[in-house]
Structure 1
């Protein structure tokens, strides 16, 4: 599972998004984004772009990519350490 999340966490998150109206459940049981879900996703992306611009400032794309890569390794290592504990 990504980032060491178990199935229960993913099911809980999906249930919350269904309850919120962002995910719909098809006849085959598959989850799909609803119109409201697409709007929420677009709004979240816009918000994250603004936050990123404020936080990153004058950092170059290369520097940002390096930082994200390093932080991803830290997250992966932490998830591995948690699963071993």
Structure 2
């Protein structure tokens, strides 16, 4: 077997990305929601990502999530069930707003996140994880990628 240092990083980061995303989405689906639905709630909540709690159009939400939406993600389709459940509402300008029920739902959905993270990180200590992230950040920097946060 080849030395791990000789392995192609682009291949392994791609495999890791696909496997982790699939795992997260499977776990979320088992609890009755999708990753794009979770993101919609988070982006519209003044207690989470939204800086002001104001409603947003689908185009504004897509722009806000542009760095991590996947090709198959359709925010209009994801929003529909949230509106039906009363977690989001649409105004006359077609902006989506989170409701009180949506805030409560988001609080409940967030309770699943630690278990999902723990399963992904099982057998990996924090120091190894931090080293991996630092190495990836350096590689991104080395290839002229977007600026990344450095610890």
For the aligned pair, the TM-score class normalised by the smaller chain equals: 0.5 to 0.7
Gaps of 5+ in 2: 1-65, 137-151
Q: How many residues align?
A: 64
Match of 1:32 in 2: 97
Q: Take 1:41 and 1:61, find their aligned partners in 2: how far apart are those partners? A: 30
Q: What is the TM-score normalised by the length of structure 1?
A: 0.57
Q: Which runs of 5+ in 1 are unaligned?
A: 70-85
Query: Aligned with 1:28: secondary structure?
Result: coil
Choose which of 71, 77, 83 in structure 2 pairs with 1:4.
Answer: 71
Greater relative CO, 1 or 2 (CA 8 Å, sep 6+): 1
1:1-85 equivalence runs, <5 A: 2-5=69-72, 9-53=74-118, 55=119, 56-57=121-122, 59-60=125-126, 63=129, 66=133
The structure richer in helix per residue is 1
Report the RMSD for the aligned CA atoms in angstroms.
2.6
